[in-house]
Structure 1
Amino acid sequence: MEVIKWAESTNNCQASARFGVPRQCIQSWRKMKTELMLEEIQGKNTGKKKRLGGGGRPLKNVEVDEKLEEWLKEKQANGGEKITGKMIKEYAMTISANEDFKASNGWLQRFMIRHGLAPPTRNQKTSESSSDGFEDLLNQLLQQSEEIVGGVAEVGGVEKEEEAGPPIIDMGAELQKLLGNFGGDN
């Protein structure tokens, strides 16, 4: 109601900027002002808040949702067993009394969002092994350069003896010289 009052005293754009709410939402709230006021009054008197329009579609299979959530908690409590999306969908199909219910990938995604069970992102999956993989990649590149140049230091601080061949240039020092010249320092 505070946002609506602010929008009425100024305008929707200023209210949007002040409260960080999209202007379109403020427009729709202003159109529904009387309904919102009634809901606010009724909510204070009854102690119950009713779902407002635009709050999303209610669940069709509340029982399935609750049973599945309990099942997941049990599985996690019994040793943290890894639970796949396929396992969730299969169990949902077995406990559902609705013949038309299809545990689709979209249903699974919404279920996981509802219960805060989003799978790890790509960055989370790769970050665990990224340091080992990065070091392996560096060692592989250094090994290949050894064949070309003749001798090279290995990652991890253990240096190899240089064999006869062209000298290895310290690229860090060369880069610092170039950057120093670029910045005007000589």
Structure 2
Amino acid sequence: MRTRAFRFIFSVVEFGSDEEEVKPPQKLEAYSIEFKLKVVKHAKEISKHSANIKYGVSRSCVQDWVTLESKLHQIQNSSPVIKFKKKPQGGGRPLMFKDFDRHAKPKKDEVGFKASRGWLERFLVHHNFRIRAPTTVCQKPPSNYVQQIVDFLLYITDIQRKHK
């Protein structure tokens, strides 16, 4: 009995508690395209491991940047406004129809786009849109519906009087 308790106490004292081992989460940093390309160049010339150590970037980031090198060059050669943007225009606000029409109409005419019925159906299914349709057709009331309502109300009042 003593040996089990002693082993447990010894293991707790030797290895410490779980609270000491908790590490804060590592924050990810945003790197510029020029920095990424510099790291990729170093990784191709020497090695990914040395680029990892020299620039203080995780090896997985270096590997990802090496595979995305062509896209990084495209972004660097594109307009200077796109390089520095981190979020899309609009700030998360929903697109209004007038904005959509203003941007989409010239593109439609330029490309010569014509949407068929089948294209529209596939588009709606792919983007999980639904066109709501009424489930019932409005029926005409019976010719003597006023009399039926009066009879029903009289029937209800009779039942209420009997059970009072």
TM-score, structure 1 normalization: 0.27
The structure with the larger Rg is 2
TM-score, structure 2 normalization: 0.30
